[in-house]
């Protein structure tokens, strides 16, 4: 659903992103601590000089406010990804977790912003619906930092950010997935959803300027600085997962872009109901993306079980993707939430033959998507996994996701 046929401009670059397979890392062991001197903020320069290099999406939102500082955080994600996946950066043939931790905690692209501050942010006092839902589910007001700190710090010096968090037995393949998917998806998407909910609250109070600032920030967290050339933001995750589920025309991504534009128009006209509609559609499409991701990695477990092979990265990747939607799933299907949690329980445990992991998870995820009708989502938006080797017997309740929770 592209406006003025502009989507064709971004398709070739999107295809390049889609052609890049997810990393499948299987190294073992722990890295040594590296010196902070490895990093140079000057290599990237200040935000003002970087702004001219930020990608603009042809059918995306034209922001009214300067939110380049938010977009540029995705370049820290890119740097962390390089530290953990580029063999030239490895230390003793192992991913460079010390360098990744340094970028996470102190930042590299900007002098006054870093991903770790976002990961430990506590927004409880703002009474934002999704934040409250997630903090209740995970039993913590800093649920993202609580999750990512142990795999990031395992084996590093027991000091500073990593004090008391250095023990652990995760394989590097699992650690990498936990860390990278948290940086690229969980942190920015959580912040984006929080800003959309702030925008609604501000507009209800009659403050259109604050509402638009929050809406622009929500968009910036989602797309990042380089969505057309780098795989470091939730924007590219949407492209990859919808492609895996035979949604080849970029429909879901285009729907999100259009909803961001519609939300900005609603703010300009002071229409709270239309802003809520745009928010729900974006949120619903995010739920679809991470339902697709959760299902995809369950299919790999069946293949690996038959081969009697470990699933260090596949189980970890499925778990981290599920983390982004688990609180919503539990609202409509508590038993289904337990099923998915059991499938992705421990990446160190090899999958067993005959468990039917794919159908277990596919059933829960498809039923979850069916519950999103009030969010403008249909089952066609979810699609069918391209490598599904069996048809699952899916039977769902009539439960529907509430539009307010």
- Reading the chain (405 residues) residue by residue, the pLDDT tens digits are 333 333 332 333 333 333 333 433 333 333 323 322 223 333 334 445 555 589 899 999 999 999 999 999 999 999 999 999 999 999 988 999 999 999 999 999 998 889 999 999 999 999 999 999 999 999 999 999 999 999 999 999 999 999 999 999 999 999 999 999 999 999 999 999 999 999 999 999 999 999 999 999 999 999 999 999 999 999 999 999 999 998 878 999 999 999 999 999 999 999 999 999 999 999 999 999 999 999 999 999 999 999 999 999 999 999 999 999 999 999 999 999 999 999 999 999 999 999 999 999 999 999 999 999 999 999 999 999 998 878 899 999 999 999 887
Domain that holds residue 136: 3-287
Give domain status of residue 391, yes or no.
no
Question: Is 149 found in the same domain as 273?
Answer: yes
pLDDT of residue 34: 31
CA distance 92 to 293: 32
Question: Is 375 found in the same domain as 271?
Answer: no
Question: Is 306 found in the same domain as 279?
Answer: no
pLDDT of residue 17: 32
Buried b (16+ CB within 10 A) or exposed e, 164-197: ebbeeebbbbbbbbbbbbbbbbbbbbbbbbbbbb
Question: Is 304 found in the same domain as 216?
Answer: no
Question: Is 150 found in the same domain as 79?
Answer: yes
pLDDT of residue 246: 87
Left if phi > 0, otherwise alpha if psi is -120 to 50, otherwise beta: which for 326?
A: alpha
Question: Is 12 found in the same domain as 74?
Answer: yes
Give domain status of residue 273, yes or no.
yes
Query: Into how many domains does the chain fold?
Result: 2
pLDDT of residue 390: 83
Question: Is 121 found in the same domain as 55?
Answer: yes
CA distance 231 to 220: 15
CA distance 330 to 368: 9
Give domain status of residue 400, yes or no.
no
Question: Is 232 found in the same domain as 343?
Answer: no
Question: Is 221 found in the same domain as 319?
Answer: no
Query: For residues 262 and 278, is the Cβ–Cβ distance under 8 A?
Result: yes
Question: Is 305 found in the same domain as 187?
Answer: no
């Amino acid at each position: 659903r592209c406006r003025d046929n502009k989507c064709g401009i971004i398709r070739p670059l999107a295809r390049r992103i889609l052609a890049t397979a997810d990393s499948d890392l299987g190294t073992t062991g722990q890295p040594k601590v590296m010196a902070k001197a490895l990093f140079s903020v000057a290599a990237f320069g200040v935000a003002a000089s970087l702004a001219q290099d930020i990608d603009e999406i042809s059918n995306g939102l034209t922001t009214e406010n300067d939110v380049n500082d938010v977009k540029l955080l995705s370049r820290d994600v890119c740097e962390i990804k390089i530290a953990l996946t580029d063999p030239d950066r490895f230390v003793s043939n192992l991913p460079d977790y010390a360098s990744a931790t340094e970028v996470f905690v102190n930042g590299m692209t900007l002098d006054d912003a870093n991903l770790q501050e976002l990961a430990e942010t506590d927004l409880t006092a703002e009474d934002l619906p999704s934040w409250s839902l997630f903090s209740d589910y995970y039993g913590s007001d800093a649920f993202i930092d609580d999750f990512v700190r142990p795999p990031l710090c395992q084996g590093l010096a027991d000091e500073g950010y990593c004090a008391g968090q250095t023990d652990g037995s995760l394989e590097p393949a699992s650690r990498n997935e936990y860390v990278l998917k948290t940086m690229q998806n969980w942190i920015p998407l959580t912040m984006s959803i929080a800003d959309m909910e702030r925008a609604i609250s501000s507009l209800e109070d009659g403050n259109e300027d604050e509402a638009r600032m929050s809406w622009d920030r929500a968009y910036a967290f989602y797309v990042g600085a380089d969505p057309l050339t780098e795989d470091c933001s939730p924007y590219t995750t949407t492209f990859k997962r919808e492609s895996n589920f035979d949604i080849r025309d970029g429909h879901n991504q285009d729907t999100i872009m259009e909803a961001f534009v519609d939300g900005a128009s609603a703010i300009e006209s002071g229409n709270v109901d239309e802003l809520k509609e745009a928010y729900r559609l974006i949120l619903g499409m995010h739920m679809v993306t991470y339902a697709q991701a959760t299902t995809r990695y369950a299919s790999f477990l069946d293949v690996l079980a038959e081969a009697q092979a470990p699933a260090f990265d596949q189980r970890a990747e499925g778990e981290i993707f599920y983390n982004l939607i688990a609180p919503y799933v539990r609202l409509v299907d508590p038993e289904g939430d337990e099923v998915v949690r059991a499938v992705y329980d421990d990446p160190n445990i090899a999958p067993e033959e005959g468990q039917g992991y794919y159908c277990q998870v596919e059933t829960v995820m498809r039923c979850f998507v069916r519950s999103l009708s009030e969010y403008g989502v249909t089952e066609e938006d979810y699609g069918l996994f391209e490598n599904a080797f069996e048809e699952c017997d899916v039977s769902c309740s009539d439960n529907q996701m509430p539009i307010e929770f």
